[in-house]
A and B are shown apart, each in its own frame.
Chain A
């Protein structure tokens, strides 16, 4: 089998006496949408933070396209093609939507130690920004300051920012968090489109969305991966049902 795009091996992270990440290993193949689910406190965010470089593991390794990135800082991982969205929206609130996306494009288009020319007039960056905004359906809101965007629009903008860096792998930390029903549906549709272009790791609580989207699902409980497989296998897995699911009915319901 070909080298997986993302390989996580025996990752361990402790907080005091608590094992927040307990020997986690998982592979994400190129082109795959890999969902990570688990009850609250299962260590999903801790795991994601180690993938993005905001937290260092105590042991184990993370590699992207065969290259060890376990201890690289966040900005270097980004340069290697790893983009993320934040669980709690994290944008430049006093910049326009287009500026937010154009800056992400700028980070991947030559040096930013240019002091004189007006960056907002660089056609290449603006085109990339507008393309990414159109992609997520925000084209008409390009010149609006983020402060004035709705929560749903900000979630979409998070995606546009991540896309503008033309990533190999997109880490989405609960992109549906706080979205209403129609907004969620739009987001699912959007992700269905995006997955054709880019590999995605999706951390999400919205079970119908996860089962509709994922090629493979890993279930995290108390920091351990207790099961990993395609949606049908996960749905049938007894251990998952036992450990995870008061939400059992959600899973079967959706089948």
Chain B
């Protein structure tokens, strides 16, 4: 029980830190840290959505960054065509991600294991090349979003603090939904399928349709992250869909702790802070980052959340 309380304490501290960050930023006049953490919060949201299928559902998707691109391009393309309202852009971003997930999921879920990893990767790379070919929307060079999504005065995304809190609210909302889902009837079935598909079939559950619905929910959540990300950088390019970005998301999830509620946030914070500070020290930061991640994954079973749990137990 004490182990639980250590990881709970660290989680609470982290969440409190995220909530209070803009206060620190304005008091210290450090604007950079707010920008950095906006990005962290958005990618934590993407990692949390990946964790739903990967950690709870046992579906190792290696193409999750595709949704970042789809959500982002939905915002960018609509803005380019003169549709600036967030009330249109965001629903379109979510719907487009959901449809992509439905099609890709229906095809990919026919396979298992390594094949599933490779096929999700292949589809994401296809999305990457399609985006690169969109000459009207910048092609390879990407698309500048000149005006952030307009929520008619309800909230101003141009304001750093307001935008940060919008992202944080989305993150907390998604975490709340995932918490409800994994404890619901549906969530138990999905986790049961991760544990033993043959057994679940034998007690009367058709595996595919549950996994597919889970896949779509996860993709839609990640599409939201994509729409936010395009607003954050005022820019969207094929690069956000590249397979290395999918890999980053996977690392965040594994690093933080697969199948834990707050692990992906922890993973995103640690991963992106490391990346940020190591790259300030040396341009060969990846040389340090790589082995470091390797050590954590090798020796910290269950990621950071797992280590915290064991540390508490002594």
Give the B-binding residues of A (Cβ under 8 A): 52, 73-75, 78-79, 83-84, 86, 90-95, 99, 103-104, 106-108, 111-120, 122, 161, 165
- Contact (A93, B195) CB under 8 Å given A104-B204, A119-B187: yes
Q: Are A113 and B213 within 8 A (Cβ)?
A: yes
B219 CB to closest chain A CB (Å) equals 16
Q: Are A75 and B206 within 8 A (Cβ)?
A: yes
B11 CB to closest chain A CB (Å) equals 20
Which residue in chain A gives the minimum CB-CB distance to B201? A74
Task: Select one of B191, B192, B204 contacting A79, CB under 8 A.
Answer: B204
Query: What are 10 sample pairs from A and B whose C-beta atoms fall under 8 A apart?
Result: A78-B202, A83-B202, A86-B198, A86-B199, A92-B196, A103-B205, A106-B185, A112-B185, A118-B180, A120-B188
Q: Are A119 and B185 within 8 A (Cβ)?
A: yes
Q: Are B196 and A112 within 8 A (Cβ)?
A: no
A216 CB to closest chain B CB (Å) equals 25
Which residue in chain A gives the minimum CB-CB distance to B193? A92
Which residue in chain B gives the minimum CB-CB distance to A104? B203
Alpha-carbon distance A115/B210, docked complex (angstroms): 11
- Contact (A90, B184) CB under 8 Å given A73-B206, A161-B203: no
Which residues of B have CB within 8 Å of A120?
A: 183, 188
- Contact (A118, B184) CB under 8 Å given A91-B196, A92-B192, A112-B210: yes
Count residues of B near A (Cβ-Cβ below 8 Å).
Answer: 24
Alpha-carbon distance A222/B239, docked complex (angstroms): 61
Q: Are B201 and A114 within 8 A (Cβ)?
A: no
Identify which of residues 186-228 in chain B touch chain A, using a CB-to-CB cut-off of 8 Å: 186-189, 191-192, 195-196, 198-206, 210, 213
Q: Are A103 and B192 within 8 A (Cβ)?
A: yes
B133 CB to closest chain A CB (Å) equals 37
Q: Are A95 and B181 within 8 A (Cβ)?
A: no
Task: Select one of B183, B195, B205, B213 contacting A107, CB under 8 A.
Answer: B205
Q: Are B202 and A103 within 8 A (Cβ)?
A: no
Which residues of A have CB within 8 Å of B189?
A: 103, 106, 112
Q: Are A114 and B206 within 8 A (Cβ)?
A: no
* Main SS at interface, chain A: loop
Closest 4 A/B residue pairs (Cβ): A107-B204, A78-B204, A104-B203, A92-B195
Q: Are B195 and A94 within 8 A (Cβ)?
A: yes
Alpha-carbon distance A79/B204, docked complex (angstroms): 6
Alpha-carbon distance A117/B206, docked complex (angstroms): 21
Task: Select one of A75, A95, A119, A122 contacting B204, CB under 8 A.
Answer: A75
Which residues of A have CB within 8 Å of B184?
A: 114-119
B99 CB to closest chain A CB (Å) equals 19
Alpha-carbon distance A115/B181, docked complex (angstroms): 5
Q: Are A90 and B210 within 8 A (Cβ)?
A: no
Which residues of A have CB within 8 Å of B201?
A: 73-75, 78
Which residues of A have CB within 8 Å of B200?
A: 92, 103
Task: Select one of B185, B192, B204 contacting A108, CB under 8 A.
Answer: B204
Alpha-carbon distance A99/B184, docked complex (angstroms): 12
Alpha-carbon distance A147/B189, docked complex (angstroms): 19
A119 CB to closest chain B CB (Å) equals 4
Q: Are B202 and A84 within 8 A (Cβ)?
A: yes
Q: Are B195 and A78 within 8 A (Cβ)?
A: no
Which residues of B have CB within 8 Å of A104?
A: 203-204
Which residues of B have CB within 8 Å of A95?
A: 191-192, 195
Alpha-carbon distance A114/B189, docked complex (angstroms): 10
Task: Select one of A73, A79, A92, A115 contacting B186, CB under 8 A.
Answer: A115
Which residue in chain A gives the minimum CB-CB distance to B196? A92
Alpha-carbon distance A34/B128, docked complex (angstroms): 59
Alpha-carbon distance A106/B187, docked complex (angstroms): 12
Q: Are B198 and A119 within 8 A (Cβ)?
A: no
Which residues of A have CB within 8 Å of B195?
A: 92-95
Alpha-carbon distance A32/B93, docked complex (angstroms): 59
Task: Tell me which of A78, A116, A117 has the highest count of chain B C-beta atoms within 10 A of its own C-beta.
Answer: A116
Which residue in chain B gives the minimum CB-CB distance to A161? B203
Alpha-carbon distance A113/B211, docked complex (angstroms): 11
Q: Are A86 and B180 within 8 A (Cβ)?
A: no
B196 CB to closest chain A CB (Å) equals 5
Q: Are A78 and B203 within 8 A (Cβ)?
A: yes
Alpha-carbon distance A99/B183, docked complex (angstroms): 11
Q: Are A90 and B185 within 8 A (Cβ)?
A: no
Alpha-carbon distance A90/B199, docked complex (angstroms): 6
Which residues of B have CB within 8 Å of A78?
A: 201-204
Alpha-carbon distance A95/B203, docked complex (angstroms): 15
